[in-house]
Structures are given as C-alpha cells and as structure tokens.
Chains A and B, each alone.
Chain A
C-alpha cells in the first residue's frame, strides 16, 4: 500500500514538475518584484506566450513524426508579410479574405517541406534548414525587404485579434490559442490521425508491418505545422501593427526550445501541446522577469538556456531511474 502511494507521488512529481517549477518561479519573482503580477503585465505575457505556443502546436505535429522543422520562423515571416502586402497594396479588399489567403499560402510552404522530406528523402532537419532560406527569399521578394505598417488599411480590424483584451485583461490571443489547442489536442489524442502521427514517429518499422501509410502522415504533419505557423504569423503581424521579412526571426529557435521544454511535461519525452504552452509561458516569464528586475536583457538567454538544460536533465534522470527500478 505504502509502496504504491510512494510511487504515485514520484509519478506526479515527474509528470508535473515543470508546472510546479513555473508556479514557484512566478511566486519568487512576484515576491521580489510585486509589479510582475500587475494585470497589464500578466496579460501581455499571456499574449506573447500564446503567439509562440500556436506555432509550437504546429511543430508538435512534426515532432510527433520524429522530425524537426527549422522553417517555422520563416513561415511566420511569410504569412505576416503576406497579410500586410495584401492589405497594403489593396489587391484584396476585406480583412477576412486576406487572413484566409495568407494562411492558405502557407500550405504551399508546408507542401514544399513535405516534398523535400518525403519525395526527395532528405532528413527533415536539413530539408527545413534549406527551405528556410528559400522561404526567406520569397518573403524578401514579396516585401522588397521593407517592413509594412498598418495605416493605409483599416487598423481596428487588423489589430482585433492581436490587441483586444476581453473584460480589460483577457487577451483575445488566448481565446484563439484555446480554440486551436482544443482542436489540436482532440486531433492528436482522440483521433486515428493523431495516433498514427505518434506511431510514425515512435516506431516506423511497426507502422510498416501494420500497413500505415507513413508518407501520408508525414505530409499531413508538415501541412498542419505550416498552417499553424501561418496563423501565428498573421497574429504576430496583428500584435506588432505590421510585418516584414524579420517578423518571425525570433521564433525559429523559440518554437523548438518550447517543444523541448514541453516534452518534459506529462508525456515524458514526447512533444505535446499542454507542455508546449507551459514551456512558452515559462520562457516568456523568464524574459519578462529579467527586465522587471532590471538586469540587461541578454541575461534572459542564459536563464532560458539553464532552465532548458535543467528541465531535460531532470526528465532524463527520472526516466533512467524508473527504468532501473
């Protein structure tokens, strides 16, 4: 009886320690610097975290099939630039149409990634590194290497998703993220598609034996990833009042970082959406806290790096310990 109970606490700790750490971190920072918990600050942190988390939710699908996508940032830049160009030069009237076209155009980028990986057979991490260059070229060509700001077009509609706060504190972005997260969690955990995605990544040989069409699921994963990065890019443009070829630069490694952190939460060693969200909240909090306390902002990189090492180290150790016992 006691043995099982002890096992349970251990298990809870290893499943949820990232959450516990995040809460502890928030409490400590709030004690040192109470203005950290000001409503304005909290809601801006949630907005920032949600932007990363939406793109990371897409990356989770690619990681489910056991690959990595380095082109997330460039896809975000593309869709952010696309919507700005569409609205700025007035080829498209109406925000909704521009929104949809921008996101659908990202499907082409995802298809390009899928083509390189599935048809040409290049390992995805290399294929996406190369395609990131190609996408960057497209974006530079599209925007002529300028950043377009709102002004010419209806700014209220444009900033609605990115800057509105419900009841004065809850960012609209969080609602968008929740909707996407619910759909994605359902898709990944409750449908055949999701199970197959994880199966392709987890045990490719078994998939071959039971007749799962691996290529199909790989293509689907890249398409989902590109669409969600596209959504995130459009929202990023809405938050930043405009977009250009550099809109998504910061997100290329941020999304991977977040997924790596998220993989230590709940499902050990497997990227998952709640973990990715928690990871982006933690990273955003660290960045914010460093500035709040008044340290130069480059310390945030060191802090985030150390947290990543610690998180992965602890989860690796716990797993090794469990396997031994």
Chain B
C-alpha cells in the first residue's frame, strides 16, 4: 500500500508545471523574505525570548489548525474548532486542584480531550446521520460550546493558583531554548503527516473529501471515515487548547473565539504550499509559523500595528487563495453551504 502511494505521488510530482512549482514553494519563500525585512527593520524580532514566544504561539495555533484540517478535508467548514479546544482547556482548568498528583493531571487532560471528542462525535451525528449541513451544525455547536465554556469558567478569565507548577511545564517549559509546545507540535506534525499520507485510513479521508460518491463506490466506508476525521480533529483541537491554557495560565471563552480565525488562515495558507489546492500537513506547519511571524513582526515594527497586521493577514490570505484558484484546475475541495 505504502509503496503504491509513493509511486503515484512521484508521477504527480513529475507533472508539476513550473507555475505550480512556483506556487508550491511561494509561502516558504515569502516567509524568508519577510524574515529578512523584519530583521533589517527591527532585529529584536529575532531575540531569543521573542523567537521562543513565536514558536510557542505558532505551535498552539498550528495544532488546532491540524485538527481543523482533518475536518475541512471531508468538506465541513468547522467554525467550532476553536471552541472545542477551549472546552477541553476549561474542563482541565475546572478539574485541577491543589496537591494534584501526576495521575490527577493525566486524568484531567484525558477527560478534557474526551469532552472535546464527545462534541466532535455530536458534530458527526448532526452532519452525517441527521443530515444537517456541516457548516450550520458547526455554527450551532460553536454557540452551545460558548455557553458551556462560560459556565465552566464562571464567565471570567478563569485561573487558579491551585493549578500547580507542574501544569505550567508543558506550556512554558523548554528544552535547550526550544519550547515544549513546539516539540509537541513537531511530533504531532510527523504523526499526522504519516497518518494522512501513508496510511490507508488517511488516504481514505482525503479520497472522501475529494469525491465522496466515487469514494463510496470503490468501497470506502465514508461514514466511518468521516467520523474518524471528526474524532482526530477534536483530539488535536483539545491538545492545542490545553497547551494554550498551560502557557497563558488561564482559560476563557475568548480563547476559543480568538484561535478560530488564525487556525483557519493557517489551514488555508497551508493549502497553497507543498501540494497546492490540497490541505496538507507541511502547509499547516509553515502556515502557522508564517501567520505568527507576520503578526509579531508587524506589531514590533509599527506602533499601533493593528491595522497593518489585519491588512497583511487579509492580503496574505487572498494571495494564497488567488494562487490556488489560478494555478489549480479543481481548486479547493468543496464545502457544502446548502441550507
């Protein structure tokens, strides 16, 4: 199986036109260019502390983006991904208490992930079994989760001194100056890449998203595959959310709302990288670094860089999308908006 995929991949690669080749590396090239520009404008963007913080932020955003990628591959525009991550964080936050042992933390984190998965499954039931358009189900879930998270966090920026120092480690600790979240992100990227590109299930997820009817006709159990993508997506979102809480040492509703759009941008910028027109793991990795670099850089160069940042993010997004739709025939996999 693995070998077959590889050979077919090589043949696809060989057919790449120069234009497609250009598109597929543009994001990395653009990132290097803005690195140089930022370095000239303000070298402190690349001070050790700043780089550490950028890597950590990119990791948390990137992990949620990976989760979103799996759901979006099957053609569901998941507006609830950010809130799923906040839910896991809120559950972990509300469970932790003074004098927690290691087992306690593991249990709390497992329950947090389980809750996120539960909502992933509910999302699946609503879209797959009850045939509600995935986008509307996501919108509704987002609102319901907003209330659940507000309830768990008492509608405040929730934190507690009882959470303990151990909980800080996963988000704030670092190994030789590389923050743990980034190491976790890299590990998850490798796992996800292997799962997505090199396993039967991963290829089936892609096939289901590309053409559901065809996938069903060649004997893929599309219902099962869709559920798997919802569950994997929810697990990744939960990990991202818990890391975020560990790093910032608080959890609130706004956390879930704030991470949604950057994660979405990451996935879609990523779709312009490596294999244009297709959501892919290397793209998520580069996309996450790119968006965070853009934000940090503009804020450190322009005082009151709010509008510059919004403009650059919007334009980067548009250029990526424009390139995808100009260079690729099929464009991105379709998302269902029927009401």
| CB-based contact B339/A263 at 8 Å | yes
Question: Is A298 a contact of B147 with CB atoms below 8 Å?
Answer: yes
Nearest Cβ in chain B — how far from A217, in angstroms?
A: 17
Interface centre among B155, B332, B338 (most CB of A within 10 A): B338
User: Are A134's CB and B147's CB within 8 A?
Assistant: no
**Which residues from chain A contact B324 at a C-beta distance below 8 Å?**
122
Residue of A nearest to B268 (CB): A126
Within 8 A of A (CB), among B60-118: 77, 79
Q: What is the predominant secondary structure among interface residues of chain A facing chain B? A: helix
Q: How far is the CA of A253 from the CA of B82 in the complex (A)?
A: 15
Q: Which residues in A have their C-beta under 8 angstroms from that of B264? A: 129
Q: Mark B112-139, 1 if CB is under 8 A from A, else 0.
A: 0000000000000010001111011101
The complex places the Cα of A305 from the Cα of B137 at a distance, in Å, of: 9
CB-defined interface of B143-164 with A at 8 Å, one 1/0 digit per residue? Answer: 1101110110001000000000
Contact of A122 among B306, B311, B321 (CB under 8 A): B321
0/1 per residue, B310-339, Cβ < 8 Å to A? 110111011001101110000110110111
A215 CB to closest chain B CB (Å) equals 15
Among A68, A125, A126, A302, point to the contact of B144 (Cβ < 8 A).
A302
CA separation between A130 and B143, bound complex, in Å?
Answer: 22
Cβ–Cβ contact A260 & B335, under 8 A: no
Cα A269 to Cα B338 with chains together (Å) = 7
Determine how close the nearest CB of chain A comes to the CB of B68; give it in whole angstroms: 13
B146 lies within 8 A of A134 (CB): no
A312 within 8 A of B: yes
Closest to A257 in B: B139
Residue numbers in B under 8 Å from A100 (CB-CB)? none
Question: Total interface residues on B, using CB and 8 Å?
Answer: 50
Within 8 A of B (CB), among A281-316: 296, 298-302, 304-306, 308-309, 312-313, 316
B41 contacts across to A, CB distance below 8 A: none
Q: Does A26 contact B (CB under 8 A)?
A: no
A129 engages B317 (CB within 8 Å): yes
Sampled A-B contacts (10; CB under 8 Å) = A120-B325, A121-B331, A122-B322, A126-B317, A127-B318, A137-B314, A257-B139, A305-B143, A309-B132, A312-B133
Besides A253-B142, A313-B130, 17 other CB < 8 A contacts? A67-B337, A116-B321, A120-B318, A121-B326, A122-B322, A123-B334, A123-B335, A125-B337, A126-B317, A135-B314, A136-B310, A136-B314, A141-B307, A269-B339, A298-B146, A305-B144, A316-B132
Interface set of B (CB-CB < 8 Å, partner A): 77, 79, 126, 130-133, 135-137, 139-144, 146-148, 150-151, 155, 253, 261, 264, 268, 304, 306-311, 313-315, 317-318, 321-322, 324-326, 331-332, 334-335, 337-339
Across the A-B interface, give the 5 residue pairs with the lowest CB-CB distance, nearest first. Answer: A133-B314, A305-B143, A302-B147, A137-B311, A263-B339
